[in-house]
Structure 1
Amino acid sequence: MTATVPSWIAEVTIEELENDPYPFYARLREEAPLAYVPALGCWVASTKEMCRRIAGSDDTDFEGVITPAGRRTFGDPAVLDANGAQHDELRAMVDPGLQPSEVDRYVEGLARPIARRYLEAFEQDGEADLVAQYCEPVSVRSLGDLLGLHEVSSDKLREWFHKLSVSFTNAAVDADGNFANPRGFDPGDEAKAEIREICDPLLDRWTTEPNDSALSHWLHDGMPAGQVRDREVIYPNLFVFLLGAMQEPGHAMASTVAGLFTRPDQLERVVDDPSLIRRAISEGVRWTAPIWSAVARRNKQDMTIDGVHLPAGSVVMMSYGSANHDEHDYGAPSRYDLDRASIPHLAFGAGKHACAGIYFATEVVRIGLEELFEAIPNIERDDRYEVDFWGWGFRGPRELRVKWGV
């Protein structure tokens, strides 16, 4: 199969994709919208139309699956890797607390005090790294408190996210299909062991003393009287949340601000009119999708798509970050533009396996930006530092240095 892969596809490396995936994926969209990429050990769907076709198909053609590195990181059963009745059961476990009506009930009281607390720590300093001091802490603290992990520090939550991310994106394979860097999973394994050590006593407590935390609901909801859900079902999905759900709001917030910095006139409009923040977020996650290329599908039978033969059991990675730059839908897609025509993007996925936390993530980002722009309306990028984006699986700025007059 790989013998027919064009040389320019076969030569790409994980390091290149982590630093800047856009040139490679732009060429894929033009020449090979569905292509086997040896460095990833899977097929890649790069256009919006191809991602929609595969991600939105029913279970008779494609099923949800995570990449081998994802399965190695999360374990089984993870909601991203489940299908049919098992997927329905796992979504029934995690979805209720993330429905818009339920999020509206608690999100203001949850996220706004957190945002204010972090802002108060640096708003008189005149400078900050927004990623480390605000975006990521607000994101992880909001999700951590929702889950019931109040006793876990924000720094520890951020550490867990980054270690799991290293593991999840350790996708490089050798010519035999084996992981090229087996030790790359060590950070994720360390994080998972620590998560279990800290969470086991909490789950013990909530087994007999349930509360309104998400993890307590995961234990009890939908279970027969007197029974709780097995922890080997809870933990793989907790790992999913501590990676994907924990990074989404933080990276979405940072990318939105970074995008607005490229358009100072649009930043000024958003600061002056907070009602534009939702539009700014939508363009921010289109411009740089937080979950850039981290979910996949697997076909159940041999098929041919647009002349490309896809053997049964092929893993196809949905490159939503590439789809959101598809030139067929977006003019000048690499440009952040608040006034861009409202065309649906794929930042949060598509089909049955679309992100469960779309509304929660967006509301946390909205609240975070409302508080930021109200407290520091004269914020600007500190041009002594570059904005360094990183990642092909999950993508966002490594840091975002800002300054303002005080």
Structure 2
Amino acid sequence: MTATLSWIDEITMSQLERNPYPIYERLRAESPLAYLPVLGSYVATTTDICREIATSDDFEAVITKAGGRTFGHPAVIGVNGPIHEDLRSMVDPALQPQEVDRWIDDLVRPIARRFLETFGDDGNVELVSQYCEPVSVRALGDLLGLADVDSDTLRDWFHKLSRSFTNAGVDENGEFTNPDGFREGDEAKAEIRAIVDPKIDHWIEHPDDTAISHWLHDGMPAGQTRDREYIYPTLYVYLLGAMQEPGHAMASTLVGLFTRPDQMEQVVDEPQLIPRAISEGMRWTSPIWSATARISTADVEVAGVALPKGTVVLLSYGSANHDTATYAAPSEYDISRPPLPHLAFGAGKHACAGIYFANHVCRIGLEELFDSIPSLERDLTTDVEFWGWGFRGPTALNVTWEV
């Protein structure tokens, strides 16, 4: 293990959760591939290093220690070889662009309109909890086969799983500094099992077109289904990352647009610019900020750092998307910047399966919001605070409009 700079030894989890950007800006400048004692892991912080490791044959996926404690095994984000291929063959078909195009409007647009109807005449609302997150969880919940689980429950699940997954602080012996931080994740999983187990019992005998039913049956020999214990870790991944990402990407995009009133007006007037606005929002505040990891399969040197076989590296995509070597003025939201690719969805074999789905949930959500409330303004009497290091988004976004 390489020696760390003294200031790196002093980094705390609370600093990372509150605002990782200053820390990671300094890491990019001084030690772009560094060992962080608080995480018990190396972190990659620049665009080039994250992309190199994510696509290198000398690394394979591994789930973080806190992620493994939260999801269990085998979760699709932390496996390789035949198991990864099988899990991706299980989840990928419903998320292919041609398939998503077939049903995405019919799924998401009525959901967005229903939530808009609940506050459209009020003249003010908190958008994260009342619109962005609900649209996101409802769209995925219905797709999975959880249409009868209310949106607040789905939101509660992903927040509990998120706090558990990012409870990553360790001591000098590699032991979790806050073992009680996994309790609410365990509670969420127990609630999920209580609701989903009977559904799986039904889907085994009566398959339908819901995603979890397909996960059970697709690609299996006649009369056989995948074991539920094999499916659950990946379902937990979906109930966290896939539910969180579109909602927080939508909210971050709105916050970014509010910093550029001219661009907000342009996007409202020209809805064809919404995908561009979303892409910049995901770069500006990546919803999955630093939640994926790789492990070296051989002794390897990266960015001048010798990494022995078995070294875990966290890929901090949120930091990479603020790399000044790649983006001019990266801390500013700006839809006019050149359309360079970002890493909000990762790279390599373990790039996010839901890229197309998430982008279109955001697109439809913002189309409906701007069409219904074109005079949307941020409530300047309240601040916008972001939270999270593994997963990041605004905690609240209060807005007003004329009625």
- Scaled to the shorter chain, the TM-score interval is over 0.9
Q: Does 2:244 align with 1:247?
A: yes
Q: Give the secondary-structure state (helix, strand or coil) at the position aligned to 1:335.
A: coil
Q: Displacement, 1:112?
A: 0.3
Deviations 1:329-387 (A, max 9, x none): 11110000010101000000000000000000000000000000000000010001101
1: CA distance, partners of 2:27 / 2:309: 22
Q: Displacement, 1:85?
A: 1.1
How is 1:286-297 mapped onto 2 (pairs within 5 angstroms)?
Answer: 286-297=283-294
2: CA distance, partners of 1:252 / 1:103: 19
Match of 1:13 in 2: 12
Given candidates 270, 274, 277, the residue that maps to 1:280 is: 277
Match of 2:83 in 1: 86
2: CA distance, partners of 1:229 / 1:168: 25
- Matched to 1:257, the amino acid is L
2: CA distance, partners of 1:65 / 1:387: 34
2: CA distance, partners of 1:306 / 1:373: 45
Match of 2:344 in 1: 347
Q: Give the secondary-structure state (helix, strand or coil) at the position aligned to 1:316.
A: strand
Q: Displacement, 1:305?
A: 1.8
Q: Does 2:217 align with 1:220?
A: yes
How is 1:146-161 mapped onto 2 (pairs within 5 angstroms)?
Answer: 146-161=143-158
2: CA distance, partners of 1:162 / 1:336: 26
How is 1:1-400 mapped onto 2 (pairs within 5 angstroms)?
Answer: 1=1, 4-58=3-57, 61-400=58-397
2: CA distance, partners of 1:250 / 1:165: 14
2: CA distance, partners of 1:219 / 1:302: 39
Q: Displacement, 1:151?
A: 1.0
Deviations 1:211-262 (A, max 9, x none): 1000000010000000111001110000000000000000000000000000
- Matched to 2:339, the amino acid is S
1: CA distance, partners of 2:27 / 2:166: 20
1: CA distance, partners of 2:265 / 2:300: 51
2:291·2:314 contact (CA, 8 Å) conserved in 1?
Answer: yes
Deviations 1:118-154 (A, max 9, x none): 0000010000000000000000000000000011100
1: CA distance, partners of 2:198 / 2:301: 51
What count of residue pairs does the alignment treat as equivalent?
403
Q: Give the secondary-structure state (helix, strand or coil) at the position aligned to 1:352.
A: helix
Deviations 1:170-212 (A, max 9, x none): 0000111001111100000000011011001111111111110
Deviations 1:281-331 (A, max 9, x none): 000000000000000000012222232111211110000000000101111
Matched residues, percent identical? 67
Q: Displacement, 1:10?
A: 0.9
1: CA distance, partners of 2:152 / 2:402: 28
Q: Give the secondary-structure state (helix, strand or coil) at the position aligned to 2:192.
A: helix
Q: Give the secondary-structure state (helix, strand or coil) at the position aligned to 2:60.
A: strand
1: CA distance, partners of 2:303 / 2:370: 47
2: CA distance, partners of 1:280 / 1:28: 28
Query: TM-score, with normalisation over the residues of structure 2?
Result: 0.99
Query: TM-score, with normalisation over the residues of structure 1?
Result: 0.99
- CA RMSD across the alignment: 0.7
- Matched to 1:388, the amino acid is E
Gaps of at least 5 residues in structure 2 are: none
Q: Displacement, 1:400?
A: 0.4
1: CA distance, partners of 2:255 / 2:309: 41
Gaps of at least 5 residues in structure 1 are: none
Q: Give the secondary-structure state (helix, strand or coil) at the position aligned to 1:372.
A: helix
Deviations 1:35-65 (A, max 9, x none): 000111100000000001000112xx10101
2:55·2:347 contact (CA, 8 Å) conserved in 1?
Answer: yes
- Matched to 1:26, the amino acid is E
2: CA distance, partners of 1:305 / 1:51: 10
2:49·2:303 contact (CA, 8 Å) conserved in 1?
Answer: no
- Matched to 2:387, the amino acid is W
2: CA distance, partners of 1:316 / 1:307: 15
